Amino acid sequence: MNLSDTIVAISSPGGYGVRGILRLSGPNAWELAQSVLVPHATKMLPRRWIDVQLEPWGVRSGLLLFKGPQSFTGQDIAELHVPGQPVLLAHLQSRLEAAGARWAEAGEFSFRAWHFGKLDVSEAEGINATIHAGNQRQLAAAAALRNGELFKWATGMSDSIADLLAWVEAGIDFSDEPDVGIIQADEIKGDIQALQGKLAELLSHTDRWERLDRLPAAVLMGEPNVGKSSLFNALLGRDRAIVSNVAGTTRDTISGMCETAAGTVQIVDTPGLEHSDEALGIHMNQARETAAGEADVLILVSDTAAADHLPQLPAPVIRVRSKCDLQPTADHVGWHSASARTGVGIDALRENVGRMAYQRPAGAEQRMALNQRHVALLGNAHTALTNAENVAAQWQNAPEILAVELRSALDIIGQITGRVSRDDILGRIFSHFCIGK
């Protein structure tokens, strides 16, 4: 990409629309925008709407100008706002190219914003994620990326690693200076463990982008023959699972779509909870555990409301006392009473499932999602920090190895946003010297 070119692209969605936008960025953006206007705009005021007409038809349009570096790309930008007619937009594109603009490559506007320091890589990924968001959860996660949440975390992590690396390298290169203290092995190990803790905290408080790409899942769990499959069919409003009085009829997971006021939820029926050493029983238990591990909501079903002995569950739980028509007067605090046979409580249960499946914890509007690149980088950083921790106890015998592992971790985290330079490390080292040294 030649950053000295002036680039042009249609920035509005394809097809017909009320408004179409042509955007130019580069040193000649304002001049080239003028080339398709008649008469030329006399007052080129940035960040102000300018009424213009397009040559040769006199189509009334608008022009917006942004002066670099106070612009999205850091360069001069011109936007032509015209009627959203594909033929008109294509004609203007051809004229601007003939006047000297180059058609922008994919992502080139965001690349220029990154190159000129207006965006970091993760924020640019947030723009792309916003464009391709397929649901509300993806849109919220993309906004957190676009607003720099991952950048803030990575910057703080890089600062912490760089400070520790500076002390280690000071011990290597400047140990004869009286003002440079030597950090102790237990301090290094403690600092590295704190860094590992930051990694673990990030991973536990973020979503995975691929998980947001699917509908939220509510998984039915309970002992055999408590009515899970009957509730499954009732929630879906149709017979999808086989219902039988014989325990163990459900041998594998089965799913269906349930429409709720909050949105569509995938309901998953699972085999009953029971211990088995047989191959089929082991398969059934594995299928249930896999489904539970991917659940957004767990629906714990019991016909006696006595399931406290069940293992700790990995997602928010709705406790349902099934077959309540057989015990109409029973009162079980904290349990939702429902009957698949009579329909009692099914509508309320369905809406509760939807509400819990789509609810987000406090602060979730800022909760970001990590894509595969982020997860891979964080995994590599964890490995580098683990290697550093392993040599920390004897670091004075092999200080260069410790420095290499810390530098590796720093470079890996830097790939999320931007690298920390050798000059930055030197600056941190000399900052520990006394004034005048």
The model's pLDDT over 46-74, given as tens digits with 9 standing for 90+, comes to 999 999 888 877 889 999 999 999 999 99
Contact 125, 350 (CB under 8 A): no
pLDDT in tens, 176-200: 555 545 667 778 888 999 999 999 8
Mean pLDDT calculated for residue range 150-173? 84
Task: Give the pLDDT mean for 394-419.
Answer: 82
For the chain, domain boundaries: 7-115, 149-206+370-431, 217-358
Residue 403 C-alpha from the chain's centroid: 31
CATH node for 7-115: 3.30.1360.120
Region of poorest pLDDT, from 245-249, 265-269, 335-339: 245-249
pLDDT at position 339 is 87
Q: What pLDDT score does 437 carry?
A: 37
- Give bridge partners of residue 433 from the DSSP assignment: none
Q: Report the range of poorest mean pLDDT among 42-51, 148-157, 207-216, 250-259.
A: 207-216
Check whether 436 has a pLDDT greater than 60: no
Please state, for a pLDDT cut of 70, what percent of the chain lies above it.
76
Fold agreement between 7-115 and 149-206+370-431: no
- What was the pLDDT predicted at 241? 58
Is residue 336 within 8 Å of residue 345, measured between CB atoms? Answer: yes
pLDDT at 428: 45
CATH entry 3.30.420.10 includes domain 149-206+370-431 = no
- Comparing 3-12, 21-30, 217-226, the range with the smallest average pLDDT is 217-226
pLDDT at 135: 66
Taking 80 as the threshold, does the pLDDT of residue 421 lie above it? no
Residue type, 166: A
CATH 3.40.50.300 corresponds to the domain 217-358: yes
Most confident of the following: 166-170, 246-250, 374-378, 421-425: 374-378
